[in-house]
């Protein structure tokens, strides 16, 4: 922040602008939560008014229709396997590529970075066809593996930049003490990657939790549906139960918001450290 009278005015303007943008981002969530307690008639009468009473029937109805517990469990399993796989494989790859100074390692790292530039729409149908050939379509594990493949490129890039800031002398001392490479990584290096791991984990968790297109393509059975796919079932061909839909969306986003709030400091610190050290 800038000091002085002119600096204070500038800081005040920046803070006001940031507050306005924050309110704009929170407004859709506020409207969804507000209207999730209304009846259908009250919702269409005045969308911005407060509900006359807190009607929890919408939440009960949407909970039953979307089979919330099963959908929540499916989403959690897919996200846990996907995030866990990305953090383990990407941290190992980022560390190994950073510490190996060869042309091959530079080429492999460049391929990881290049994979970030490929739009999903261009590989959507070939990816689905490959999943069918490997018999992992309509499978929670198959979807999680696809998430790992799509998300590992960005994660390797972030880990690679973060590892550059870790002194190599620490690892050399561990080798002298008799540790092998895996022991050095998991006992020495990986604990030092806590901030960037939190950043990678929450970024991919947000992506997997809120993703609709990939589960829609890969999952065909209601038993494997994620929260957003189950919410989509509440839309009718000719009419939709909007209070139930809004309450379902609120129940779908609350868990991920809580996770983000708990890990917010580590996420910001990891992103900043990765940018500086990279």
What's residue 117's pLDDT? 87
List pLDDT tens digits, range 172-224.
888 888 888 888 888 888 988 888 898 899 889 989 998 999 999 999 888 99
All domains of the chain, ordered by start, with CATH? 59-277 (1.10.3720.10)
pTM of structure: 0.84
Burial of 107: CB neighbours in 10 Å, binned 0-12, 13-18, 19+ = exposed
Mean pLDDT of the chain: 85
Nearest to 84 by CA among 200, 235, 250, 181: 200
Neighbour tally for 171: CB within 10 Å: 18
Cβ-contact 123, 58 below 8 angstroms:
no
**Model confidence band, residue 8 (pLDDT cutoffs 50, 70, 90):** confident
Buried b (16+ CB within 10 A) or exposed e, 108-119: bbeebeebeeee
Cβ-contact 251, 37 below 8 angstroms:
no
**Model confidence band, residue 273 (pLDDT cutoffs 50, 70, 90):** low
First-last CA distance in the chain? 24
Spatial distance between the Cα atoms of 236 and 213, rounded to a whole number of angstroms: 19
Structure tokens at 208: 């997997």
DSSP conformational letter for 185: I
Spatial distance between the Cα atoms of 147 and 131, rounded to a whole number of angstroms: 12
| Highest-scoring range by mean pLDDT, 35-39, 149-153, 256-260, 262-266 | 149-153
What's residue 5's pLDDT? 66
Contacts 24+ apart (CB under 8 A), 258-266: 259/202, 259/205, 260/202, 260/206, 263/198, 263/201, 263/202, 266/194, 266/195, 266/198, 266/199
List pLDDT tens digits, range 54-76.
778 888 888 888 889 999 999 99
Of residues 232 and 81, more confidently modeled: 81
**Model confidence band, residue 171 (pLDDT cutoffs 50, 70, 90):** confident
Spatial distance between the Cα atoms of 231 and 247, rounded to a whole number of angstroms: 10
């Amino acid at each position: 922040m800038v000091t002085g009278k002119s600096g204070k005015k500038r800081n005040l303007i920046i803070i006001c602008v940031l507050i306005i943008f924050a309110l704009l981002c929170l407004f859709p969530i506020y409207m969804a939560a507000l209207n999730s307690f209304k009846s259908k008639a009250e919702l269409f009468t005045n969308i911005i008014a407060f509900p006359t009473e807190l009607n929890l029937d919408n939440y009960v109805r949407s909970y039953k229709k979307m089979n919330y517990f099963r959908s929540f469990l499916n989403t959690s399993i897919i996200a846990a396997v996907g995030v866990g796989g990305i953090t383990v494989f990407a941290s190992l790859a980022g560390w190994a590529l950073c510490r190996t100074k060869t042309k091959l390692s530079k080429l492999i790292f460049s391929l990881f970075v290049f994979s970030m530039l490929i739009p999903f729409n261009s590989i959507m149908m070939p990816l689905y066809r490959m999943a069918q050939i490997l018999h992992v379509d309509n499978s929670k594990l198959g979807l999680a593996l696809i998430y790992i493949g799509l998300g590992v490129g960005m994660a390797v890039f972030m880990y690679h930049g973060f590892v550059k800031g870790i002194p190599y002398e620490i690892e050399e001392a561990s080798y002298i003490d008799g540790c092998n490479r895996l022991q050095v990584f998991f006992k020495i290096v990986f604990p030092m990657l806590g901030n960037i791991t939190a950043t990678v984990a929450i970024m991919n968790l947000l992506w997997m939790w809120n993703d609709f297109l990939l589960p829609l393509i890969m999952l065909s059975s209601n038993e494997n549906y994620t929260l957003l796919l189950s919410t989509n079932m509440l839309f009718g061909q000719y009419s939709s139960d909007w209070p139930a839909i809004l309450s379902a969306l609120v129940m779908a986003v609350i868990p991920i918001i809580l996770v983000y709030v708990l890990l917010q400091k580590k996420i910001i610190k990891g992103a900043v450290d990765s940018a500086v050290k990279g």
